[in-house]
Each structure stands twice: as C-alpha cells, then as structure tokens.
Amino acid sequence: MHHQPVMLAEVLSLIETYSRHARILDGTLGLGGYSEAILSRFPASTVLGLDRDEQALNFSRERLKDYSSRFRALHANFGDIAGLDECRDFDAYVFDLGVSNMQLTLPERGFSFQNDGPLDMRMDSSDGKTTAEEILASSTAEDLAKIFWDYGQERYAKLIASAIKKSPAPITTTGQLVKLIRDTLPQPVQRKMGTHPARRVFQALRICVNDEAGELHRLLAGLSEISHEALIIFVSYHSLEDRMVKYSFHEWQTNGKGKILTRHPLTPSEHETEENYKARSAKLRAFSLNTY
C-alpha cells in the first residue's frame, strides 16, 4: 500500500538535532512510515508505535518485522498516554494527526468521499463509538450545522444539514451523502470550491466520530506532565488542531516547561506538495520539554 509520510525530512532533522534519539514514541503509527524511517536513520534507536486502528497495527507489524528487536506496536489511543506506563521516558514523541491511506482507501471503513461504503468513520471499530451514520440520524439540523462548521469550516453547513434532515430516506452510505451534498449545493458554488464539495463535511464527521479534538486535548495535557527532557513534534492538517498545539506550546513555555523550537510552523516544500497532495495543508510544530 502506497504511503508517503508528510514532512519526513523535517521530522528526522528535528530528532537528530534536538533529541538523543535513543527511545522514540510514534504516537500515530498508521502504516509505519515515520517509524520505518526513524529505525533506518538511527540504528541505535528503539521505537514504540501507538495506534487505535487494529488494521493499521497489523500492517505496520508486518512492514517492520525486520526491526522486531527495536520496534514494538501497541493498540492504544494517544489520548491515554498519561496513564500508560509504556509511554514514559522517551527522548522524542512524534504525532501525525492525519488520516492513514489505509483508512481512506478501504471503502468499508467509510472515510472516503471517493469510494462508496458504509458511513462508519471509526478509527477503532471495536470501541463502540457512534458511527457517522448514527450521528446523521440522531442529531438535529442545528447540531449537524455546528459540527460541519466547527470541525470543517463548511460555509454551507446550515444548508447541507437541513438537506440531510429533510432527506426522505436514511443516509447510510458515503455515496448517498456525497450525492446529497452535490444535489444540495448550487453548481456555481461547487465550481468555485477548488476541492471536492463533500471534503469538509467528511472531515467534520470524522473528527466528531472519533472525538479527535477531545483526544488531542487529553494528549497535550498528558504530555505537559512529562518531567524529563523530551522533544515533542506535531504535524497537523486542520486549523483547530494546529491552534490547540500552538496554544499549548505557548502555555508550556510561559510556565517554564521548556522552549518552542518552531517560532512559526514549518510547512511542506513546494516539491513535496506536488509529490504528495495530502501534504498541502500540513503544519509542523516542535517543542523541547524541560530544556532551558
């Protein structure tokens, strides 16, 4: 399965410059792109990879089996990091807050607006969380509009939410939702969007289903409790996530917890965005905890 880690060169450079890079936690293992590069670049390093997606974990275990003596994968949610004994005493913590290619390309996962499948969108299908289909069915038009705006900055949130609630039949598949959005938005509006008309709604539903903002808040709170020196790296793709990371870093620095290493977020090179469209909205921020 094709996978290009976003801003990999920048991540590796930060680890090399600001970390002892002996023990590294990849908090969003996904398909193992960062972990593989770290293990290859730093032969003395060990990596613990976390992910709440069992399919991604199984893929990465197989991909990284040649590094089995230095790599371990753990089924866990990064929001729980403060309570996990396995996640203590690392030299660097790396988090890529994007969606993995596996989740996007498997129609049955329900993440993609380009492939028809059930409206699921759960990153961990075993955790009993509410699916996207259930959110559409149980939420009011006002609640849906708030979700679409808060998590997707969808300008036509109210219009789309109203159309969903007025639908004569339940919306149970990604294809049905895409068709409703296309039928709802005027053609001139869709032509001016510059992106798929359903992208923002799908993003918003995914963030809501998986409580991504809540989990990131818990993660940042957990990281702030680390008492040893550690490098923290975040790659985010959404303004809400980036703001949360930015404000936490500023708060940590103000409170004497260390120093911000990226005064302004790093962004992908023009070459990278041409090679990997997913990277276009990425922002990287880094912090050195308990370093003065």
Q: How many residues does the chain have?
A: 292
What is the residue whose two structure tokens read 């069992």?
54
73 DSSP β-pair partners: 49
Q: Structure tokens of 273?
A: 């965005």
Domain 130-209 indexed as CATH 1.10.150.170 = yes
Instruction: Give the pLDDT score at 124.
Output: 85
Instruction: Give the pLDDT score at 98.
Output: 80
In angstroms, the CA 17 to CA 51 distance is: 26
What is the residue whose two structure tokens read 């990371």?
245
Q: Which residues contact 9 (CB under 8 A, 6 or more apart)?
A: none
What residue segments make up the domains of the chain, in order of their start?
Answer: 8-102+212-289, 130-209
Whether pTM > 0.85 for this model: the answer is yes
Nearest to 95 by CA among 254, 212, 251: 212
Instruction: Give the pLDDT score at 3.
Output: 63
Q: What is the CA 252 to chain-centroid distance, rounded?
A: 22
Instruction: Give the pLDDT score at 292.
Output: 65
Mind listing the pLDDT tens digit of every residue in the chain (292 residues)?
Answer: 556 799 999 999 999 999 988 999 999 999 999 999 999 999 999 999 999 988 889 999 999 999 999 999 999 999 999 899 888 899 999 999 987 776 777 878 888 898 899 999 998 877 767 999 999 999 999 999 999 999 999 999 999 999 999 999 999 999 999 999 999 999 988 888 878 999 999 999 999 999 999 999 999 999 999 989 999 999 999 889 999 999 999 999 999 999 999 999 999 998 998 888 888 889 999 999 987 6
In angstroms, the CA 73 to CA 54 distance is: 10
| Fold for the domain defined by 8-102+212-289 | Rossmann fold (3.40.50)
Instruction: Give the pLDDT score at 192.
Output: 85
The H or E element that residue 213 is part of is: helix 212-223
Q: Given strand 283-289, what is the order of strands in its sheet? A: 71-75, 46-51, 23-26, 92-96, 230-236, 283-289, 258-260
